[in-house]
Chains A and B, each alone.
Chain A
Amino acid sequence: MYRYDEFDENLVRQRARQFRGQVERRLSGELPEEHFKPLRLQNGVYLQLHAYMLRVAIPYGQLDGRKLRGLADIADRYDKRYGHFTTRQNIQFNWIRLEDMPEVLDRLADVGMHAIQTSGNCIRNVTSDPFAGAAADEVEDPRPWCEIIRQWSTFHPEFSHLPRKFKIAVSGGGHDRAAIRVHDIGLDLRRNSDGEIGFEVVCGGGLGRTPHVGVTVRDWISKPELLSYLEAIMRVYNRHGRRDNKYKARIKILVNELGEATFRSLVEEEFAAQNEREKVILPLAEVDRIEAYFAPPAFDAAPAASPTLDEARRLNGDLDRWARHNLRSHKAPGYTSILVSLKPLGAAPGDATSDQMRAMADIADRFAGGDIRVAHEQDLVLTHVRLEDVPAVFAALQTAGLATANGGMITDIIACPGLDYCNLANARSISVANSIQAAFSDPDLEDMIGPLHLNISGCINACGHHHVGHIGILGVDKKGEEFYQVLFGGRADERAAIGEIAGPGLKHEDIAPALKRVVQRYLSLRSSPEETFIDALERLGQAPFREALYAAS
């Protein structure tokens, strides 16, 4: 993976020093909160319901053992021995004192980490496929391009004061596991008709108050031209994006208001007008240098199947169930990627204790070449594991409480922190997630249901991506009481769609029983056990599910 060079290191250290001074001035009274707030936000520091919260950047979700141990140490020393992994592939600490923040930033810098690009109206931390570089179906590893975009966008003076925050996701060209169609810009590596690899450029997607699926502005752009093309988009946005109303300031509104064709022609004009000095043409040597950081490990020559694993699965039903749900195909024969669920029943989705972080680091070092990813589903991923080693990895994960067998299933719920932690929330998310998990806690029932993505947000800001869950849940406040709207039919993959609101909101205690009825209806209506929930919903439409949802009221 990418390692900081001297330049990166200096930049991060300098930033931490600068923030130390700002915190001192805030605490001495020299800086009022009003002036300090934008500065703290630029360093990932929010003020939430109970305490300051620090959001740490994990560019494209890439971690290693050293970084994860560094995070565990911070959790132990300055927080409450846990951290919360987010849908932006970052981690948040919920209880850090402002006076400790400078020290925490120093400790992050010690392990090559920081909180830059985690807040504010800048280009945010770039996200990607957590299986990048390992997935059997990808055209190419997207991470070098995430890193190139990170370097290009960090503190880019022209794009530090955008109309609003700006999120870019890059996928490697197979199945879309990075939700690129609901990002401000989504990039998908693909071949053109000559077989050359470049990018499809999608723009104007997003969730929040006004959800949109992005549109393709360019079918294909070559790698050397990518940054120039991104600059053209950013310039059109910077020039035409609204600054008078923060609810209308995201690029999705601009694309929608101008219309796809006008927006595209503005971008193309801007791109064509760039003179040679303006163009950001990446020297090939630099691309090679960055790509080298992401070179795959030397895989052992191994047969595609492992008799050891097969036999262990036959003897151990728990291992077999977990392997069925949590292993993912790998491009190297004899290897697998593992989705490590952070969704044990009854816990806050995405939380990991410091002990679990250390256990993950140890397991990754021993069995996965130290490679750990954060998935936007708020789970972790071990990328390059030999099939032979899977039983040992499973046992180690079990010991750490990390072997929940629900990857991609109904209890692998995405949920934002909601009203238990978040200052902007309308309703709780975590407790709703837990009540749904309890309703579907029978593993045989979950097996029978098959893949089903359920996403929950505690307010319209949609950090829990409720619009793109097969079932989405949005917490709303009705005269001081928590209510939950249910959406059906969202998806975040290459067929991205925004879910439709089913009808009036339900009470907290009614959500789990209502979803049980919906799922029972699915089980009774599906054409075969192979027809997934989302496929059945697309075939049958919302009506039967909606009817089941409200059947008791």
Chain B
Amino acid sequence: MSSERPKLGPDIPKVITGWNSRTGRVIYLTADRDWSESLADASVMTGDQAQEALRFASTDQVRVSDPYFMQVTQDGRISGRETLRETIRAQGPTNHPMFGKQAGDL
């Protein structure tokens, strides 16, 4: 793993995120075990379901690199102590508003 992220307890709502292996873009795991570049498509999980999904993600190496849990609220908004980092990942660099997803550059 290139990202040593904070441990999240089983009850904390989370999504799985990583990078598209081919392009390097930020992606999120969806409910049907596909990957989307949009956080809105991500599947919010807890407990065993989340662990099982992370196991799947870790074997899905062709499509994703370095998948990990990212904390969200029940309705899928970024939360927790990595909020700024994950917001920047989801949107793009704050100093370059013309780059990244914030610029529609999906």
Which residues in A have some Cβ–Cβ distance to B below 8 Å? 26-29, 32-33, 37, 46-47, 49-52, 80, 95-99, 348, 419-421, 423, 425, 428, 430-431, 434, 477, 479-480, 482
Interface pair A50/B24, CB less than 8 Å apart: yes
Chain A residues with CB under 8 Å of B26's CB are: 49-50
CA A122 to CA B80, docked complex, whole Å: 37
Known A50-B89, A434-B95, A480-B83; contact A97-B23, beta-carbon cutoff 8 A: yes
Bound CA–CA A348/B3 (angstroms): 24
Cα distance, A46 to B88, chains bound together (Å): 18
Verify if B93 is at the interface (C-beta below 8 Å from A). Answer: yes
Asked if residues A423 and B3 are in contact (CB atoms below 8 Å), the reply is yes
Asked if B22 and A99 sit within 8 Å, CB to CB, the answer is: yes
Q: Closest Cβ of chain A: how far from B2's Cβ, in Å?
A: 5
Beyond A98-B23, A99-B22, A430-B95, whether A420 also contacts B88 by CB under 8 A is: yes
Q: Are B84 and A419 in contact (CB under 8 A)?
A: yes
- Given A421-B93, A423-B3, the answer on whether A27 and B100 have CB atoms closer than 8 Å is no
Cα distance A26–B63 in the bound complex, in angstroms: 10
Complex Cα gap A50–B96 (Å): 12
The answer on a CB contact under 8 Å between A419 and B88 is: yes
Q: List 30 A-B contacts (CB under 8 A).
A: A27-B21, A28-B62, A29-B62, A32-B61, A33-B21, A33-B61, A47-B19, A47-B66, A49-B26, A49-B85, A49-B88, A50-B24, A50-B89, A50-B92, A50-B99, A51-B25, A52-B24, A97-B23, A98-B24, A348-B96, A420-B94, A420-B96, A421-B93, A423-B3, A428-B95, A431-B95, A477-B81, A479-B81, A480-B84, A482-B84
User: Are B65 and A27 in touch, CB under 8 angstroms?
Assistant: no
**Interface extent on B, as a size class?**
20 to 34
Q: Is the CB of B95 within 8 A of A480?
A: no
A422 to chain B, nearest CB (A): 10
Judged by DSSP, the binding face of A is mixed
Q: Which of B15-65 contact A (CB under 8 A)?
A: 19, 21-26, 61-62, 65
User: Which of these, B2, B24, B88, B95, contacts A37 with CB under 8 Å?
Assistant: B2
Contact with A along B63-102 (1 / 0, CB 8 A): 0011000000000000011111100110011111001100
Known pairs A37-B2, A99-B23; A50 contacts B95 (CB<8 A): no
Given contacts A33-B61, A49-B85, A480-B83, 6 further A-B contacts (CB under 8 A): A33-B66, A51-B23, A97-B23, A98-B23, A428-B95, A431-B95
For the complex, what is the distance from the CA of A27 to the CA of B26, rounded to whole Å?
17
In the assembly, what is the distance between CA of A80 and CA of B97, in Å?
13
- A278–B84 Cα distance when bound, in Å, is 54
Residue pair B85, A50 in contact (C-beta under 8 Å): no
Nearest B residue (CB) for A96: B24
The 9 A-B residue pairs whose C-beta atoms are closest, nearest first, are: A480-B81, A420-B93, A52-B24, A51-B24, A29-B62, A430-B95, A97-B23, A33-B65, A32-B61
B64 to chain A, nearest CB (A): 9
Cβ-neighbour of B95 out of A28, A95, A420, A479 (below 8 A)? A420
Measured between beta carbons, the chain A residues less than 8 angstroms from B84 are 419, 480, 482
A residues in contact with B2, CB < 8 Å: 37, 46-47, 423
- Chain A residues with CB under 8 A of B100: 50
> In the bound complex, how far is the Cα of B82 from the Cα of A25, in angstroms?
33
The interface residues of chain B lying within 8 Å CB-to-CB of A49 are 26, 85, 88-89, 93
Q: Give chain B nearest CB distance to A244 CB in angstroms.
A: 18
Chain B residues with CB below 8 A from A28, complex form: 62
Given contacts A27-B22, A50-B24, A50-B25, contact A480 B80 (CB under 8 A): yes
Residues in B with CB closer than 8 Å to A46 are: 2
- Find the A residue at minimum CB distance from B81: A480
